């Protein structure tokens, strides 16, 4: 019998989940999630290094590719999907590929995580300007290992994120992010705290990358894409706050700026028309603070 991996071991304080009450079970699972936060905080310095390295590549025209299987792939896909509406980036800038393809997001595809050839194909278009981040709770999913190995062969920056101390995934990565969350309350179910740690790590990583790329001003998402009523109201509030204008004035600014919060703010703060505001932002690398302080 092969050795049991860290993510498959039984929880040292686990109970018979089928025998305890529902409240006690929920409290046990929720309390166990603290290990996910602790693991990400402990890896903060490494994640910061990753954020800076990836931001530098994106600013030079590179791309970011997340790779994962099962729960890890779904977490990666969720983070990638949220970035265009939150930060106004093109969908092609950050993409997620998961073992089994798009169908695997909604249902399990048997054997997909063992398909090394598919993993390698998933990153064949990457090059030295790009970055690949592979996630695997056990660090042994062949799809993720092969993808990261191929990405490194092609010169891309390679980052491994796993929930164990040592793993095959680490051997093919330039930067290793260890998130050791230990055994799960439900043995082997890494959608629990291992998955939570990966989600926190990706949320923090992608937000830091976007902040470094000028997609954030203060603590505000000034590149938000106002694609629905809630987001249009948010864009209006942002312009009002950052310019001190009334709602009618902010509405007019946004209309002239074609919905861009940044353009509207620069127009008002720097007394420019829309074209001038866009040019000023472009000269400042899209950074609102630099544009209005210049």
* Positions marked catalytic: 82, 113
H or E, element range at 96: strand 94-98
Q: What DSSP state is assigned to residue 177?
A: E
Query: What residues are paired with 231 via a beta bridge?
Result: none
Question: How far apart (Å, rounded) are the C-alpha atoms in residues 173 and 145?
Answer: 9
Question: How far apart (Å, rounded) are the C-alpha atoms in residues 136 and 164?
Answer: 9
Question: How far apart (Å, rounded) are the C-alpha atoms in residues 188 and 6?
Answer: 9
Nearest to 268 by CA among 294, 291, 245, 284: 245
Annotate 244-273 with DSSP letters as a single string: ---HHHHHHHHHHTTT-HHHHHHHHHHT--
Helix, strand and coil content of the chain, in percent to the nearest 5, comes to 55, 10, 35
Contact between residue 69 and residue 76 where contact means Cβ atoms under 8 Å apart: no
Residues 6+ apart with CB under 8 A from 65: 94, 95, 96, 97, 122, 123, 126, 130, 131, 132, 133, 151, 156
């Amino acid at each position: 019998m092969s050795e049991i991996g860290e993510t498959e071991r039984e929880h040292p304080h686990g109970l018979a989940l089928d025998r305890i009450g529902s409240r006690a079970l929920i409290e046990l699972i929720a309390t166990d999630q603290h290990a996910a936060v602790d693991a990400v905080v402990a890896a903060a310095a490494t994640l910061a290094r990753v954020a800076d390295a990836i931001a530098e590549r994106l600013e030079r025209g590179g791309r970011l590719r997340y790779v994962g299987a099962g729960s890890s792939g779904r977490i990666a896909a969720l983070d990638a999907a949220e970035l265009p509406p939150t930060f106004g980036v093109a969908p092609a800038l950050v993409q997620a590929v998961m073992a089994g393809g798009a169908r695997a997001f909604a249902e399990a595809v048997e054997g997909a995580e063992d398909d090394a050839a598919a993993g390698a194909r998933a990153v064949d278009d990457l090059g030295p300007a790009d970055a690949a981040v592979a996630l695997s709770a056990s660090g042994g999913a062949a799809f993720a290992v092969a993808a990261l190995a191929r990405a490194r062969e092609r010169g891309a920056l390679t980052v491994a994120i796993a929930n164990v101390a040592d793993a095959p995934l680490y051997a093919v990565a330039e930067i290793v992010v260890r998130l050791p969350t230990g055994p799960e309350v439900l043995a082997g179910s890494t959608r629990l705290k291992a998955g939570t740690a990966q989600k926190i790590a990706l949320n923090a990583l992608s937000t830091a990358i976007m902040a470094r790329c000028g997609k954030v001003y203060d603590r505000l998402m000034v590149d938000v894409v106002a694609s629905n009523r809630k987001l249009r109201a948010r864009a209006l509030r942002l312009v009002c706050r950052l310019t001190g204008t009334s709602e009618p004035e902010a509405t007019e600014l946004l209309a002239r700026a074609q919905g861009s919060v940044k353009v509207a703010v620069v127009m008002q703060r720097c007394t420019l028309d829309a074209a001038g505001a866009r040019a000023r932002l472009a000269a400042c690398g899209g950074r609102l603070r630099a544009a209005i302080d210049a």
